[in-house]
Structure formats: structure tokens, C-alpha cells
Amino acid sequence: MVKNLSIFSKIMIIVCLLLIPLLLLFAYSNQVSTNVVKSEIEKSNVNRLSFFLNQMDTNADQLAKVAFTLGREPEAVKFQSIHLSYELFDSIQIRQTLLEKINLQSASYSWTNKLSIYSPALKQLVSTNALENYDLSYFQKNMSPDWVYRPHTGGSEQPNYFYRYSTDPSLLFGDLSQVNVIIEVAFAARNIELMLDQFKAGSVGEPFFFHEGYDPIMNSTANRQTVSELAALLKGDKLQRSGSRTVEMNGIKYMLSYAKSSSLDWYLVDVVPLESVLAPITTSRNLFYTTISMLLLTSIMASYLLFKNVQVPITRLIGSVNNLKRGNFSTRITLKASREFTILFNHFNSMAEQIQDLVEKVLREKIRVRDATLKQLQSQINPHFLYNSLAFIQSMAQLENKQAIIAMTQHLSKYYRYATHIEHQEVTLENELILIVNYLEIHKLQTRRLEYVLDVPEEMKASIIPRLLVQPIVENAIVHGIECKSGIGTIRISGYTTETEHTLIIEDSGIGSSLEEIAQMNERFGRGLDEELGHGMWNVHQRLRHQFGGGSGLHISASLLGGWKVALTMKVRIS
């Protein structure tokens, strides 16, 4: 296969073979570098997130411990039993001292928070937020031993909080009205926003706090639309404790890293545009590809010059040689080329001209041989029909049927006057059809069970065809079709014409043949003389091909009358 390639193709293959390993090596190296950088950045981001979450969880855990220590404060213990042993003044003083204690506890933490103690027995609340007014149903509805985010649902701009509850004594399940106190610890989500601002400072990422059940908590300068869309992508996904992935949104790829808070059960997510991370590698890759493209373009230009000055003349020469091989001896090369190829083309043209002269001489000799062959084929068609006609005349004479004898001799004389007039080997289709009518009338007299129909267009009757071309087909239809079947037989002769061809169709109502047998007979026409096919059919096919060329010939198919449908196709020739 390589030997058949042109020089231009071989050069391009060599260039590609040189460039492909280089491209593959660079692509592999670039991919490895990209993967390493992405992996290291992902690990770094996850570590940053984990460290940052550790600080956040530490603050949350410190606030959570308040719920356990606050219930054991002496003032809290006294608050639990105010209704049993203290006077009104003492009760007020205990409440005031407890409030000072929890305010001091609240102020000791950097996060904005709320601390509240509720006594189910007294139905009284002590809180750092004087606006809070809880009852037992509030705690029964919201009680949770873990941190729970509860966004504010009112119309005013109030901060959202994370809440956590504990009781004294501890109560996992049961009636909250039986405990001494219920302690509520809460911190504002604003604390997380401020920490996210610190995390974002000096980076290109977009950190946010994510939980699939709530809206994300964002930093103060966040692109809220982008964060909301990214949060929507994460919802429904089964996230691990920490990890990273690449996501695509609005045609932009992002590196998304996340880590889960063990205290709050939320995810800290950081999103970085992948393009900004890989920008140096992308620039290096584009520069390399640009250089390779320029080298490839230079190679193509050099190959094109070689193709134009060497490959094109060689291709033209090969094409002309192939034309000679196919029999087109008039082919000549007129391409303007270099001096060496011009000399070669001139010698080729001289050789083609000599070959054309020799072939024309051979063709003229073949035509003379063909004419002799046609006369021989015509002589093979005629003799046996005469014997049958003379036998009929003899029979009618013995029966003294003068009318039949007269009719037979008239048709027979016309038939043989036409058939034996061999000076002109080409006649019009109209004259050939007159012969066929005489031939059919003779058979009609002999068998008395033959009918025929002629339906040939007038414009087709002027066609020039070889003498005695149709008669063998009609004879075959009678002898091998109609005579082998009882009852009246029918022969229909029709035709149609196109711009380039005439087609004459002979159909009979004889016994016919199977489709497989018909296909075999059509296939035998291309072989030598076949005894199974018979001389007449094969002779007609060969005469058509000799006379009108390879596109002409005889074709058999099944007729709707029941027998054969024989189509004679010939090129248009008008006298």
C-alpha cells in the first residue's frame, strides 16, 4: 500500500510521523503537569478549608460548653429553686446576678452570641437579649442537642442564628416540663460571614458555607448569583467529609473544594476558576502549539511546491497511460511543465499517435471480419423454417385447400423475397415488422391457434436495424412457448423510445420459465455460444452488440401474459 502512495503523500506522512510523537509527548507532559498542579492545589485548598473549619468548630464548641457549665453556676442553681425558698427581693437579686453572669459569659467570646436560661417551673426566662420572650412550647418545638441553623423568617432585616440546647438535669427524651432549667446557646451567622471574609482575603476563590437544606451563607463581597448556582449544583450530591471536584457552569470550569464541619454539620466550600489556576500552563501550551503550527505550515508549503512541480506532471502522465490502457488512444498531454517533463510528454504524445494509427487499422480489419460473420449468422437463421412451410403446402394440396395454399405461398414468397435479399444488411424496423407479419400469418395458417398484436410507435419504425433481427425471437416464442401449451396463444410486439435508445419488446403467453432459469439465461448471453440457450437467441444478442455497441443487447424477463418478455435494446439510428 505504501508503494502506491505519491511523493507528496509520503513527504506529508514523514512530517506527520515526526510531529505526532512530539505532540503526543508534549500533550502527555502537559496533561501530567496540569494534573499535578490541580492535585496539589486541591490538597492545599482542602487543608486550608480544614484548618479554617477547625477554628470555626473550636469557637462553636466553646460556646457549646457554656450550656453545660452555665447550668452548674450557683446562681443558676438558686434560680432553679426560687419558687421554693426565696422571698421576692431575693428572687429578683438572684435573677439579676444570674443575668450579670451570663452577660459576662457572653462578652468573653469573640463571636456575637445569645445566652438564655429558662425555668419550666417558674415559666421565667433570663437572657442576654432583653427582647427574647420564650415559653415552654418554644423549647418543646425547637429542642435539639446539636447545633441547628434557624434563619429569620420575618420581614425585617434581623440576623440569623445557630442554636443549641441543653437541660439540667440532662434529658435526651421525655417531658421538658420536668427539668429544672433549659439553657439556649446561639451565635449569629454573621460571625461565619466575617470569617469567610478573612478566608477570602488575598485569594481568587469564592468561599461560602453550604447546607442542602438552607440558603448558603456567603461572604460580604460574594457574587451571589454564582454562589447560588453552585449551591444548586451541590444539592442532592452525596458529599464526603472533604474533597474536591471540577464543575462547569455557564461555560466556565471551576475547581470546587469542600470540607465538613464536625460541629455544625455544614460544608465550607471554596470555588476557584480553573482558568486562573492553570493560566501559566495554558499560556505555555498555546505558545508550543503556535510554534508547531508554524512548522507544519512551512512543511506544507514546501511539500506543495514539490507536489506542483513533480507530482502533478507524474500524475498527469500516469492518467494518460491509463487512458491508453482503457482504449482512449486519442489522449494527449498538453500540460506546461519543466524542461525534463516537456521532453517526456512530447515522446508520449508521439507514441500515442503511432498506437492510435495501428489500432485504427486493426479495427477496420475487424469490421470486415464482422460483416462476414453477420452474413454467416444470417444463413444459420433461415433453413429449417422453409421445410415446415413446404410440408404445410403439401398437406393442403392433398386436402385440395386452394385458399390455404394461395395464402401460404403469398406470405412465404414475401418472406423469402425479403430474407434472401442480402445486399443491404440494414433495414428499417417498419420493413422488419412487415416480415414478422408474414411470418406470423404463416404460423397462424399452420396452427390455427395463434393470435398476435403489434403496437410499435410510428416514430420508432424508422429505426435502422440489422436484417432478420426480430424473426428469431418471434420464432423462439412460438416454438418453445406457445406450441408447448394448449389453447390459443398470443404474441404481442410493442416498443418505446428515449433520446438515446429504442427498445422493442416481444411477449408471449407460452409456458414461461422460473425466475432462476431466466436469470441463468441472461447470464449466458455474455458467454460463448451455448447449446442450452440456442443459436437464434445468442445470435441476436451478438448482432445487437456488434451493431450498436456494449450498451445494446437482449434481455429476458417474465411477461404478464404468462410466458417470456424479451427486450431488444439498441442505440437510436434514424435513416
Report helix, strand and coil shares of the chain as percent, to nearest 5. 55, 20, 25
For CA atoms 33, 36, 38, 40, give the dihedral sign.
negative
Based on the domain organization, do 393 and 350 belong to the same domain?
Answer: no
Based on the domain organization, do 337 and 451 belong to the same domain?
Answer: no
For position 491, what pLDDT does the model report? 94
Based on the domain organization, do 397 and 294 belong to the same domain?
Answer: no
Based on the domain organization, do 25 and 126 belong to the same domain?
Answer: yes
Based on the domain organization, do 419 and 343 belong to the same domain?
Answer: no
- Alpha-carbon Rg for the chain, nearest whole angstrom, is 54
- Cβ atoms of 368 and 387 within 8 Å: the answer is no
Q: Among 183, 201, 219, give the residue marking a domain's end.
A: 201
Q: Among 201, 223, 252, give the residue marking a domain's end.
A: 201
User: Which amino acid is located at 116 in the chain?
Assistant: S
Q: What percent of the chain has pLDDT over 70?
A: 87
Based on the domain organization, do 475 and 407 belong to the same domain?
Answer: yes
Residue whose C-alpha cell reads 506544507 in the numeric block: 300
Q: List the one residue out of 450, 499, 493 whose CA is nearest residue 471.
A: 493
Residue 552 counted as domain residue: yes
Residue 506 counted as domain residue: yes
Residue 161 counted as domain residue: yes
For position 280, what pLDDT does the model report? 72
Residue 426 counted as domain residue: yes
Q: What confidence category does residue 257 fall into, taking pLDDT thresholds of 50, 70 and 90? A: confident
Average pLDDT over residues 539-566: 86
**Which pLDDT tens digit goes with each residue over 358-376?**
877 777 666 665 665 555 5
For position 490, what pLDDT does the model report? 93
Instruction: Give the number of domains in the chain.
Output: 3
Query: Does the reported pTM lie above 0.75?
Result: no
Average pLDDT, the chain: 81
- Cβ atoms of 272 and 48 within 8 Å: the answer is no
Q: List the one residue out of 529, 521, 528 whose CA is nearest residue 557.
A: 521
| SS3 at position 495 | strand
**Which pLDDT tens digit goes with each residue over 406-433?**
888 998 888 888 877 766 778 899 999 9
Q: Among 355, 371, 393, give the residue marking a domain's end.
A: 355
Residue whose C-alpha cell reads 493560566 in the numeric block: 279
Size of the chain in residues:
575
| SS3 at position 208 | strand
CATH number, position 387: 3.30.565.10
Task: Please give the residue range of the domain that contains residue 351.
Answer: 281-355
What are the grid coordinates assigned to 293, written together? 503550527
| SS3 at position 149 | strand
Residue 376 counted as domain residue: no
**Which pLDDT tens digit goes with each residue over 499-514?**
888 999 999 998 888 8
Residue whose C-alpha cell reads 487512458 in the numeric block: 323
For position 227, what pLDDT does the model report? 86
Based on the domain organization, do 347 and 388 belong to the same domain?
Answer: no
Q: What percent of the chain has pLDDT over 90?
A: 9
